[in-house]
A and B are shown apart, each in its own frame.
Chain A
């Protein structure tokens, strides 16, 4: 009781003594204890302010990204305008030379419904577009990186797409640099490769192959892959060219069905009797 009354009489001094003692104890405590204490209390008390700090940093980062993207949009917009001019010029020149008009294509976005766990074994994927969307068998399917395959079977609301990595799939292709023509194929032994390129043709590692537009199905200009190896073993008549596909089939996300191709586009329509056996699509 006398202690309580003493405390009540000198409450201010007792409080000061207690606070100063605790402060000094904290000052002289070990670094580990300080760290543990700071972490324990800080994680509870400072969680709200941490959130604000992080939100602020996040917003700053987004703002920075936004500025970069805006600048990029401006650059691309400028480039697009110039490309548009070139396109018009090319169209005019094609008309002058009496070439057929290479009109653009209509891309129908589609979502993947299923994907083979091993695309090399089971080469069909299912997408959520079907007959009701105007999809028909044989239409090319692409992604932003290049050609993926072609529509194989069409149902009312969905379709099956045959991937490039199919044994019976072949596309007429062209080297973007040297304009050499070949046939893009896949087989389980060699993987992706280009066939029918003569030994004297100019194809080098790093060249990119795209669809040539020859044949009935695939429009010109969709990327197929990059040359990783060129071999000329003795006794063969053609180069053996291996490619890395431009589309990573394992990480496919958005696909587009090229569902409207101008009848005036190069190679369309092509009489089936003249279609080469290079076009082995479905």
Chain B
């Protein structure tokens, strides 16, 4: 319950402050989509059903906080949550390379679903936007995820070393 609350809080805060902070670091106009990264993280931990629900929830918040078509992000994020949750059960979750591949792939799927209603269901327009933003975005988000993972692991190991009783 406590973990759920914490995850929910992270998701809400991340999504609310995303429009404010997305321009702070956006190389070549591609920003780090941390609502998506949070969704990925939560779904990998929790599974398909929470992933779908959280996806819908943060997608809706994302739609409300930006000028996007209401429901577009909700649809894309809930489907992506479902997809990640489904794949999660069939892969080795401890393997970082697989996880990164899954993240990049699911990001591309998410963007494809998101761009279609935004571009009035025009395949060429959505395709062009997808190539322009989704492809570099998937690499950037995978990199950020990897860096965060390494940082968290490094911190955990450092803390474990500090708390480990000295051996004589």
Interface contact B20-A52, CB-CB below 8 Å: yes
Interface contact A29-B20, CB-CB below 8 Å: no
Contact mask B63-85 → A, CB, 8 Å, 1/0? Answer: 11100011110110011001001
Interface contact A23-B74, CB-CB below 8 Å: yes
Measured between C-beta atoms, what is the minimum distance from B84 to chain A in Å? 12
- The answer to the question of B117 belonging to the interface, with a C-beta cut-off of 8 Å to chain A, is yes
Interface contact A27-B70, CB-CB below 8 Å: yes
Q: Considering residues A23, A37, A45, which has the most beta carbons from chain B within 10 angstroms of its beta carbon?
A: A23
Given the known inter-chain contacts A42-B64, A46-B65, A49-B20, please indicate yes or no for A16 contacting B71, CB distance below 8 A: no
Measured between C-beta atoms, what is the minimum distance from B108 to chain A in Å? 19
Interface contact A29-B70, CB-CB below 8 Å: yes
- The answer to the question of B134 belonging to the interface, with a C-beta cut-off of 8 Å to chain A, is no
- The answer to the question of A69 belonging to the interface, with a C-beta cut-off of 8 Å to chain B, is no
Indicate which residue in B12, B53, B59, B69 contacts A15 across the interface (CB closer than 8 Å): B53
Given the known inter-chain contacts A26-B70, A27-B72, A45-B61, please indicate yes or no for A19 contacting B16, CB distance below 8 A: no
Q: Which residue of B lies closest to A39 (CB)?
A: B64
Q: How far is the CA of A122 from the CA of B30 in the complex (A)?
A: 69
Given the known inter-chain contacts A20-B79, A42-B64, A49-B65, please indicate yes or no for A26 contacting B52, CB distance below 8 A: no
A27: chain B residues within 8 A (beta carbon):
69-72, 75, 117
Measured between C-beta atoms, what is the minimum distance from B145 to chain A in Å? 24
For B, the interface residue count at a CB cutoff of 8 angstroms equals 30
B78: chain A residues within 8 A (beta carbon):
16, 19-20, 23
A28: chain B residues within 8 A (beta carbon):
71
Interface contact B64-A45, CB-CB below 8 Å: yes
- The answer to the question of B48 belonging to the interface, with a C-beta cut-off of 8 Å to chain A, is yes
A49: chain B residues within 8 A (beta carbon):
16-17, 19-20, 65
Interface contact B65-A42, CB-CB below 8 Å: yes
| CB < 8 Å A-B pair total | 79
- The answer to the question of B55 belonging to the interface, with a C-beta cut-off of 8 Å to chain A, is yes
Taking CB atoms and an 8 Å cut-off, the chain A residues in 14-62 that contact chain B are 15-16, 19-20, 22-29, 34, 37-38, 41-42, 45-46, 48-49, 52-53, 56
- The answer to the question of B49 belonging to the interface, with a C-beta cut-off of 8 Å to chain A, is yes
B17: chain A residues within 8 A (beta carbon):
49, 52
- The answer to the question of B130 belonging to the interface, with a C-beta cut-off of 8 Å to chain A, is no
- The answer to the question of B36 belonging to the interface, with a C-beta cut-off of 8 Å to chain A, is no
Taking CB atoms and an 8 Å cut-off, the chain B residues in 64-114 that contact chain A are 64-65, 69-72, 74-75, 78-79, 82, 85-86
Q: How far is the CA of A171 from the CA of B64 in the complex (A)?
A: 67
Q: Which residue of A lies closest to B74 (CB)?
A: A23
Given the known inter-chain contacts A12-B49, A15-B49, A29-B70, please indicate yes or no for A23 contacting B59, CB distance below 8 A: yes
Q: How far is the CA of A143 from the CA of B47 in the complex (A)?
A: 73
- The answer to the question of A11 belonging to the interface, with a C-beta cut-off of 8 Å to chain B, is yes
- The answer to the question of B40 belonging to the interface, with a C-beta cut-off of 8 Å to chain A, is no
B16: chain A residues within 8 A (beta carbon):
45-46, 48-49
Q: How far is the CA of A48 from the CA of B64 in the complex (A)?
A: 14
Q: Which residue of B lies closest to A41 (CB)?
A: B64
Q: How far is the CA of A273 from the CA of B71 in the complex (A)?
A: 91
Q: How far is the CA of A53 from the CA of B156 in the complex (A)?
A: 34
Measured between C-beta atoms, what is the minimum distance from A59 to chain B in Å? 14
A23: chain B residues within 8 A (beta carbon):
56, 59, 71-72, 74-75, 78
Q: Which residue of B lies closest to A11 (CB)?
A: B49
B117: chain A residues within 8 A (beta carbon):
27
Contact mask A171-187 → B, CB, 8 Å, 1/0? Answer: 00000000000000000
Interface contact A25-B49, CB-CB below 8 Å: no
B20: chain A residues within 8 A (beta carbon):
49, 52-53, 56
Q: How far is the CA of A28 from the CA of B79 in the complex (A)?
A: 18
Q: Please name 9 pairs of A and B residues whose Cβ atoms are closer than 8 Å in the assembled complex, sorted by A.
A: A12-B49, A12-B85, A15-B82, A19-B75, A22-B56, A22-B71, A23-B75, A25-B71, A52-B20
Not counting A27-B69, A41-B64, a sample of 17 additional A-B residue pairs whose C-beta atoms are within 8 angstroms of each other reads A12-B52, A12-B85, A15-B49, A19-B74, A20-B78, A20-B79, A23-B72, A23-B78, A26-B60, A26-B70, A28-B71, A29-B70, A29-B71, A37-B70, A45-B16, A45-B61, A49-B20
